[in-house]
């Protein structure tokens, strides 16, 4: 059974959470796609990845950049059938039309203020997966939800 990691982030730390997860994928040598809910969020995460770390740059590109297949981290609001990635980070969006079976690592980041949407995902779209759930505390630390 495939495992999914579901992160319920504080709304003001959602972007940084996505960057942190993307950074772990990058250093784990996983070719990763970040699937956003819309073009505005795609551009927000793209800009945030440019300034996320003062120590090192996390190579990435977005749908607006040439040669998406060359990007170790690719940000988009739509997937095409020929995409070939090891990992997917899904940000605040429905899983409709996303074939999770194509990915070795599945990470979902949701706004923790909207726990009801995450619960609906667990009860419908994710019922056939082993889901590890984490919630972010007010101090920014992560707690495992059972």
pLDDT at residue number 43: 93
pLDDT in tens, 27-62: 999 999 999 999 999 999 999 998 887 787 889 998
pTM of the model: 0.92
Q: What pLDDT band is residue 116 in, cutting at 50, 70 and 90?
A: confident
Q: What pLDDT band is residue 21 in, cutting at 50, 70 and 90?
A: very high
pLDDT at residue number 36: 94
- Where would I find the beta strands (DSSP E) of the chain? 3-9, 32-35, 61-62, 73-76, 87-91, 105-111, 130-136, 142-145
pLDDT in tens, 70-82: 889 999 998 876 6
Terminal CA-CA length for the chain: 18
Parallel, antiparallel or unpaired: strands 73-76 and 32-35: parallel
- What domains are there in the chain, each with its CATH number? 3-145 (3.40.50.10110)
Residues 6+ apart with CB under 8 A from 56: none
């Amino acid at each position: 059974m495939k495992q999914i990691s579901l992160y319920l982030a504080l709304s003001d730390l959602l972007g940084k959470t996505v960057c942190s997860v993307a950074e772990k994928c990058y250093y784990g040598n996983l070719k990763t796609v970040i699937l956003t809910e819309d073009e505005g969020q795609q551009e927000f995460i793209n800009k945030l990845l440019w300034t996320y770390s003062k120590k090192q740059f996390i190579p990435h590109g977005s749908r607006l950049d040439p040669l998406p297949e060359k990007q170790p981290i690719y940000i988009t609001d739509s997937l095409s059938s020929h995409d070939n990635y090891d990992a997917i980070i899904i940000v605040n969006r429905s899983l409709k039309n996303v074939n999770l079976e194509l990915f070795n690592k599945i990470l979902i980041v949701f706004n923790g203020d909207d726990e009801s949407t995450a619960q609906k995902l667990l009860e419908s779209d994710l019922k056939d997966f082993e889901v590890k759930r984490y919630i972010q505390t007010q101090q920014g630390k992560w707690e495992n939800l059972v």
